[in-house]
């Protein structure tokens, strides 16, 4: 009998939240996995965002090798860029490697799998599938099978900020996705099966303060929503229970998350800080001076958002969600954006989901002024030193938990696509912003906005006949997942993977019988020949609109 693997991804899962609930007896199936299997805290990518992280997990490579370094396509100079898709993943993902070895695979609801790739099995795309598309299945005929079973299906149903999106819909769509996953797993036999629970990530963005603070749960309005929140986590634990029931003699079950979670209280306006330190300059032409004056008196995008929320002069609250109201304010705020004077700017903020700073490098940026070589290193060192010294005056604490040169933590063919400077906000209550209308470096986030953001420490667990029971490993890394899955299936590890096999998770008997073997990496993937854009302009606009609700976009 060949070795099989089942993977259950739980987007955003963190032991910070789960351990207390396990102790209270609320998550019995997860408790069994930790008790009878091996587990560890697992470090994600820097920054710990889903696009980079899930691809790193499923390729065993760091972002500079697999090419997905942000939620957005490669670009520079603050230019508008489209969203990433599966077409931008370079080299093999684990399902490509398994297919190459003749293993049948089933992939359901994994982020960044749209458009789905040809595999030796099937693939149903997940998060970042455009609304209304019907090409989310490979082979295509599986779509009709799923609809016949579920009656409806949406690979990415979450829209946090519309009137119809309530907690009942979270449970509903979690159940629909799981119904499809169970049907496919039962009717289409595979050697490797992976599905992802996506909804908990969105809940934690909105309700992190409620989830971690027991004192608020009996107070209105929290008391009214708490039972529905509990149902979502009970539903996730039930999925774990189902996967445990699928364990056969030669099957290993892995539980993984792409990142953890933490509280968020304020925005860190990186361009505002760079301007204060003289690294970024705004155009002082006539229009720039007018906008600068308006910003100084408090007419900024963020203040417009607050104003729209408070006044609600047109009764918007009765008809549209907070995202649409924020979009109205954003449109007004865009007219106040200060133009950057690139002829005097040496550094600027990356996107929120790159959490980094780019040097305005000559020959790379459209209007670069910093010479490559010595001047580049001097400027980068100056910016890094200033960022490391930055303190939030409200707390007296450093703003960043760590500051890195990109090459300190990553290496690969696509390193040049990453910000020149990366910083970590683990343990820091900030969302970064690349706004050019902000007048304060640190701005409080309104109460009806997001309450949670990603932390780099997620979860890893494994259970099965060949896994050591009751073992708590030292911290693992997200790139270790792919090679460990291959090892559990008794397959060689491609030499271009950055991750290491988590040997200690396996019994001595298994390790003795299955020494780690390596192979040259595959020469291509089914995605390599795709050149058409994954998303239309209308789909891009819709994805921008929805991701603002997660705090990913300003």
Those residues whose C-beta lies under 8 Å from the C-beta of residue 527, and which sit 6 or more positions away, are 86, 87, 89, 117
Q: Are 59 and 93 in contact (CB under 8 A)?
A: yes
Task: Kindly report the average pLDDT of the chain as a whole number.
Answer: 88
Q: What is the pLDDT averaged over residues 511-518?
A: 98
Both tokens of 244, joined, read 């445990």
Q: In angstroms, what CA-CA distances link 194 with 40, 111, 316, 394, 498? A: 20, 11, 41, 44, 21
In Å, the largest CA–CA distance within the chain is 75
d(C-alpha 419, C-alpha 404), whole Å = 10
User: CB neighbours (10 Å) of residue 405?
Assistant: 14
Given this model, what pLDDT does residue 489 score?
A: 98
Given this model, what pLDDT does residue 224 score?
A: 82
d(C-alpha 67, C-alpha 417), whole Å = 8
User: CB neighbours (10 Å) of residue 369?
Assistant: 16
111 three-state secondary structure: coil
Query: Residue 154 pLDDT more than 90?
Result: yes
Given this model, what pLDDT does residue 552 score?
A: 72
Given this model, what pLDDT does residue 302 score?
A: 55
Lowest mean pLDDT among 2-6, 227-231, 307-311: 307-311
Lowest mean pLDDT among 222-236, 273-287, 296-310, 482-496: 296-310
Both tokens of 493, joined, read 């590890």
pLDDT in tens, 189-212: 999 999 999 999 999 998 999 999
Strand partners of residue 358: 348
Task: Tell me the pairing of strands 430-433 and 493-494.
Answer: unpaired
Q: Are 199 and 170 in contact (CB under 8 A)?
A: yes
Query: Residue 62 pLDDT more than 50?
Result: yes
Q: Is pTM beyond 0.95 here?
A: no
CATH number attached to the domain at 4-263+454-547: 3.40.720.10
d(C-alpha 497, C-alpha 411), whole Å = 12
Query: Residue 470 pLDDT more than 60?
Result: yes
pLDDT in tens, 317-337: 433 343 443 444 444 444 456
269 three-state secondary structure: strand
Given this model, what pLDDT does residue 81 score?
A: 63
Residue extents of the structural domains in the chain: 4-263+454-547, 266-451
Q: What is the pLDDT averaged over residues 424-444?
A: 94
Higher pLDDT, 536 or 424: 424
Lowest mean pLDDT among 283-297, 499-513, 523-537: 283-297
Given this model, what pLDDT does residue 336 score?
A: 54
Those residues whose C-beta lies under 8 Å from the C-beta of residue 90, and which sit 6 or more positions away, are 65, 66, 67, 413, 414
Given this model, what pLDDT does residue 313 score?
A: 39
In the chain, pLDDT over 90 holds for what percent of residues? Answer: 71
Q: How confident is the model at residue 543 (pLDDT cuts 50, 70, 90)?
A: confident
Those residues whose C-beta lies under 8 Å from the C-beta of residue 234, and which sit 6 or more positions away, are 26
Given this model, what pLDDT does residue 10 score?
A: 98
DSSP letter string, 61-90: S-HHHHS--SSB-S--TT---PBP-GGG--
Q: In angstroms, what CA-CA distances link 314 with 128, 311, 318, 325, 364? A: 32, 8, 9, 10, 46
Lowest mean pLDDT among 105-109, 469-473, 537-541: 537-541
What is the Cβ-side half-sphere exposure of residue 104, based on CA atoms within 13 angstroms?
A: 9
Task: Tell me the pairing of strands 251-256 and 457-464.
Answer: antiparallel
d(C-alpha 443, C-alpha 496), whole Å = 43
Given this model, what pLDDT does residue 544 score?
A: 77
Both tokens of 539, joined, read 């789909």
514-525 b/e (C-beta count within 10 Å ≥ 16 → b): beeeeeeeeeeb
417 three-state secondary structure: helix
Identify whether 312 is preceded by a cis peptide bond (ω within 30 of 0): no
Higher pLDDT, 160 or 395: 395
Given this model, what pLDDT does residue 324 score?
A: 42
Picking from 319, 338, 326, 332, the residue whose alpha carbon sits closest to that of residue 274 is 338
Q: Which helix (H) or strand (E) holds 273?
A: helix 270-276
List of E strands, 430-554 = 430-433, 442-444, 452-455, 457-464, 471-472, 476-477, 493-494, 518-519
Both tokens of 355, joined, read 């959490």
Q: Are 226 and 12 in contact (CB under 8 A)?
A: no
In the chain, pLDDT over 70 holds for what percent of residues? Answer: 86
Q: Are 277 and 386 in contact (CB under 8 A)?
A: yes
Both tokens of 450, joined, read 């997001």
Q: What is the pLDDT averaged over residues 214-234?
A: 85
Strand partners of residue 461: 39, 255
d(C-alpha 414, C-alpha 73), whole Å = 12
Q: What is the pLDDT averaged over residues 427-456?
A: 92
Q: What is the pLDDT averaged over residues 249-268?
A: 96
Identify the sign of the CA torsion 279, 362, 412, 80.
positive
Query: Residue 139 pLDDT more than 90?
Result: yes
Higher pLDDT, 164 or 133: 133
Q: What is the pLDDT averaged over residues 428-436?
A: 93
Q: What is the pLDDT averaged over residues 462-477?
A: 97
């Amino acid at each position: 009998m060949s070795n099989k693997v089942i993977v259950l991804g739980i987007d955003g899962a963190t032991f910070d939240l789960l351990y207390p609930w396990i102790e209270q007896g609320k998550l019995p199936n997860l408790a069994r996995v930790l008790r009878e299997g091996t587990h560890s805290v697992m470090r994600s990518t820097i920054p710990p965002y889903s696009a980079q992280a899930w691809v790193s997990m499923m390729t065993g490579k760091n972002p500079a090798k697999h090419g997905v370094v942000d939620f957005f396509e490669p670009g520079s100079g603050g230019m508008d860029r489209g969203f990433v898709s599966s077409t931008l993943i370079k080299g093999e993902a684990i399902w490509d490697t398994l297919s190459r070895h003749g293993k049948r695979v089933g992939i359901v609801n994994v982020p960044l799998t749209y458009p789905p790739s040809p595999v030796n099995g099937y693939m149903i795309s997940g998060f970042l599938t455009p609304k209304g598309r019907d090409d989310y299945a490979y082979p295509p005929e599986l779509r009709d099978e799923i609809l016949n079973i579920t009656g409806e299906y949406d690979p990415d149903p979450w829209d946090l900020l519309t009137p119809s999106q309530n907690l009942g819909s979270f449970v509903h769509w979690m159940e629909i996705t799981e119904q499809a996953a169970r049907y496919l797993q039962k009717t289409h036999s595979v050697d490797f099966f992976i599905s992802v629970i996506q909804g908990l990530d969105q809940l934690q963005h909105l309700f992190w303060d409620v989830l971690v603070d027991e004192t608020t749960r009996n107070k209105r309005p929290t008391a009214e929503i708490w039972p529905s929140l509990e149902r979502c986590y009970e539903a996730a634990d039930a999925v774990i229970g189902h996967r445990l029931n699928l364990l056969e003699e030669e099957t290993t079950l892995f539980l993984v998350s792409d990142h953890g979670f933490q509280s968020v209280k304020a925005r860190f306006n990186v361009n505002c800080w760079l301007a204060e330190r003289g690294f970024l300059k705004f155009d002082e032409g006539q229009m720039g001076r007018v906008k600068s004056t308006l910003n100084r008196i408090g007419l900024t995008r963020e203040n417009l958002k607050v104003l729209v929320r408070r006044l609600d002069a047109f009764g918007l609250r009765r008809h549209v969600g907070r995202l649409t109201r924020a979009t109205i304010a954003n449109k007004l705020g865009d007219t106040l954006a200060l133009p950057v004077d690139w002829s005097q700017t040496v550094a600027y903020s990356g996107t929120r989901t790159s959490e980094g700073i780019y040097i305005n490098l000559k020959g790379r940026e459209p209007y670069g002024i910093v010479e490559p070589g010595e001047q580049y290193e001097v400027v980068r060192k100056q910016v890094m030193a200033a960022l490391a010294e930055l303190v939030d005056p409200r707390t007296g604490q450093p703003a960043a938990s760590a500051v890195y040169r990109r090459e300190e933590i990553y290496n690969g063919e696509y390193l040049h696509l990453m910000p020149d400077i990366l910083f970590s906000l683990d343990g820091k209550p900030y969302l970064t912003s690349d706004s050019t209308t902000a007048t304060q470096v640190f701005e409080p986030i309104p109460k009806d906005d997001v309450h949670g953001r990603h932390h780099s420490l997620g979860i890893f667990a494994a259970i099965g006949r060949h896994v050591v029971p009751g073992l708590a490993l030292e911290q693992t890394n997200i790139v270790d997942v792919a090679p460990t899955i291959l090892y559990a299936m008794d397959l060689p590890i491609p030499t271009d993977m950055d991750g290491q096999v988590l040997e200690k998770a396996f019994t001595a008997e298994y390790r003795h019988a299955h020494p780690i073997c390596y192979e040259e990496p595959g020469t291509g993937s089914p995605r390599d020949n795709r050149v058409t854009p994954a998303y239309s302009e209308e789909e891009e606009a819709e994805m921008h609109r929805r991701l603002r609700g997660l705090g990913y976009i300003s």
